[in-house]
């Protein structure tokens, strides 16, 4: 079961994806996963690997360092 850091990263990326108006299908295509897998990632049910996090960050135009920093602060 994913922990608080995974959940915080998922929340931040989900918000960024939504703010950019991207679909889960578009995210899936960019990282080479299925839409259903991306859905699990963005709900924090499954852990993304570092490469996938980096690809999503680039897609939505955010720094991976910023995401990790924000997630670390959010989890307390």
Q: What is the CATH number of the domain that holds 14?
A: 1.10.260.40
pLDDT in tens, 20-54: 999 999 999 999 999 999 999 999 999 999 999 99
Mean pLDDT of the residues in the chain: 95
Cα-based torsion angle of the residue sequence 52, 54, 58, 63 in order, rounded to the nearest 10 degrees: 150
pTM, to two decimals:
0.92
Distance CA 45, CA 66 (A): 22
pLDDT band at 62 (very low <50, low <70, confident <90, very high): very high
Alpha-carbon span 68 to 65, nearest angstrom: 5
Counted domains in the chain = 1
CA 67 to CA 9: how far, in whole Å? 7
How confident is residue 13, by pLDDT bands cut at 50, 70 and 90?
Answer: very high
Task: State which residues form the domain around 63.
Answer: 4-74
Rounded to 10 degrees, the C-alpha dihedral 11/37/57/15 comes to -30
């Amino acid at each position: 079961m994913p922990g608080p850091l995974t959940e915080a990263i998922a929340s931040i990326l989900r918000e960024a994806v939504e703010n950019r108006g991207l679909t889960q299908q578009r995210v899936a295509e960019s990282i080479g996963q299925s839409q259903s897998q991306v859905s699990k990632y963005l709900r924090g049910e499954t852990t993304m690997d570092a490469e996938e996090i980096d690809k999503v960050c680039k897609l939505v135009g955010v720094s991976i360092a910023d995401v990790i920093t924000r997630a670390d602060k959010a989890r307390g």
